[in-house]
Amino acid sequence: MKLELGYIDIQDIQFSEESKIANGVLYVNKDEIQKIVLGQEHIRSVEIDIARPGESVRITPVKDVIEPRVKVEGPGGIFPGVISKVGTVGSGKTHVLRGSAVVTTGQIVGFQEGIIDMAGPGADYTPFSKLNNLVLKMEPEEGLAQHEHEHALRMAGLKVATYLGELARNVQPDETQEFETYSIPEGMEKLKGLPRVAYVLMLQSQGLMHDTYVYGVDAKRSLPTIINPTEIMDGAILSGNCVSACDKNTTYHHLNNPVVMDLFDKHGKEINFVGVIITNENVYLADKERSSDWTAKLAEWLGLDGVIISQEGFGNPDTDLIMNCKKIESKNIPTVIITDEYAGRDGSSQSLADADALATAVVTGGNANELITLPKLDKVIGDVSYVERIAGGFNGNLKEDGSIVVELQAITGATNEMGFNRLSAR
């Protein structure tokens, strides 16, 4: 399966009477965006704003971050099973509005929502401070249930990202890249002698707004399966969860998964990147056993020589991570796990809720409990009053001078377990 990504670099976003892309600027008609958002069921109002890199702007509480893309050639459409009809994606051509994103905020849905600072020390901990962000502050109808609120915001964000992506359909890309994987027999013939490596992508699926969608299906309703990495680049996996902001995989993370990108970089040179095994993170022990058994079985069936495993979240999912690791290792397939740590504010607490002697190769995204002081910024998009209630916040952390003291846990993407961040340890 071969996918060509055409990157169109967005240097700025500006409001305009006409929505278009010209000379690296994304021009947006605010009225058109408002129609899209207010056309979504259960949304009462929306405010549309722009946040650029380096501006003294704080966005909170953040729900999701979505990169605009459009399918210009090949089967299926962007965000299949949700925005586009169900159809296998991952081949053909897709255009990407690189350097831009849609960010959703507004009244809090669940306490595990985050902060994006576009400037100051907090900006160093989130990759989204480097993007030109179109921010949607959306408020729900009165009396709406939490899951209905989350769904309304998720769908509105995806629809706006789809609208912006469509503007790039006939724009000449600034850069193109091709990504190709082979069938099992093709790979064994063409890449003979190279170690066969796969990526086990753990998807948050604990329910209660801890959900991830694969072709529109909630991952907790599925067993582990195999997916082509280029399908992920075409929006086959979408975030629908409110897991702690620091290690939440937003939709943007899935579209730009750095593990996938790094494996492709070595594909055909140092390794044979066989594909991705997606598995869920469950609540009950029997479900954890079942899914980890299937994950290890698939790894063995593919005849792998190595596996990289990433998780999403912490605490309960640490058990899924370690189960996947030790069961795959027990089949004589070496693993590397990517996680983060909740080691206490002094770093002396147990980092993971579970462990095993077979987990000998571990990459960490940092300690989410570390405290940071975020100075007052000139502008807030959203509502800063929620920072005492979000995970990583606490009573009294919003100071009289406008500064905020929080754990890194509260910063969107700070300790991301795909490695989409700047923190690690030796």
Residue 305 pLDDT exceeds 70: yes
Question: Average pLDDT of 178-205?
Answer: 95
Q: How far apart are CA 12 and CA 132, in angstroms?
A: 6
Tens digit of each residue's pLDDT (9 = 90 or more) over 321-340: 999 999 999 999 999 999 99
How far from 344 is each of 175, 242, 338, 347, 352, CA to CA, in Å? 43, 22, 19, 5, 11
Q: How far apart are CA 17 and CA 20, in angstroms?
A: 10
Residue 425 pLDDT exceeds 70: no
The bridge status of strand 20-22 relative to strand 25-28 is: antiparallel
Closest CA to 311 of 346, 271, 354: 354
How far from 48 is each of 35, 38, 262, 355, 367, CA to CA, in Å? 11, 12, 35, 45, 34
Paired tokens of 144: 């709406």
Q: What is the 3-state secondary structure (H, E, C) of the chain?
A: CEEEEEEEECCEEEECCCCEEECCEEEECHHHHHHHHHCCCCEEEEEEEEECCCCCEEEEEECCEECCEEEEECCCCCCECCCECCCCCCCEEEEEEECEEEEEEECCCCCCCEEEECCCHHHHHCHHHHCEEEEEEEEECCCCCHHHHHHHHHHHHHHHHHHHHHCCCCCCCCEEEEEECCCHHHHHHHCCCCCEEEEEEEEECCCCCEEEEECCEEHHHCCCEEECHHHHHCCCEEEEECCCHHHCCCHHHHHCCHHHHHHHHHECCCEEEEEEEEEEECCCHHHHHHHHHHHHHHHHHCCCCEEEEECCCCCHHHHHHHHHHHHHHCCCCCEEEEEEECCCCCCCCCCCCCCCCCCCCEEEEEECCCEEEECCCCEEEECHHHHHCCCCCCCCCECCCCCEEEEHHHECCCCCCCCCCCCCCC
pLDDT at 102: 98
Q: How far apart are CA 304 and CA 197, in angstroms?
A: 6
Tens digit of each residue's pLDDT (9 = 90 or more) over 212-260: 999 999 999 999 999 999 999 999 999 998 789 999 999 999 999 999 9
Question: Average pLDDT of 60-89?
Answer: 96
The percentage of the chain sitting over the pLDDT mark of 90, rounded to a whole number, equals 90
What pTM did the predictor assign? 0.96
Asked whether the bond before 61 is cis by omega within 30 degrees of 0, the reply is: yes
| Enzyme catalytic residues | 242
Q: What is the mean pLDDT of the chain?
A: 95
Burial (CB count <10 Å: 0-12, 13-18, 19+), residue 384: middle
pLDDT at 349: 87
Residue 424 pLDDT exceeds 80: no
pLDDT at 277: 98
In this structure, are residues 165 and 274 in contact, taking their beta carbons and an 8 Å threshold? no
The bridge status of strand 217-218 relative to strand 306-310 is: unpaired
Tens digit of each residue's pLDDT (9 = 90 or more) over 38-54: 999 999 999 999 999 99
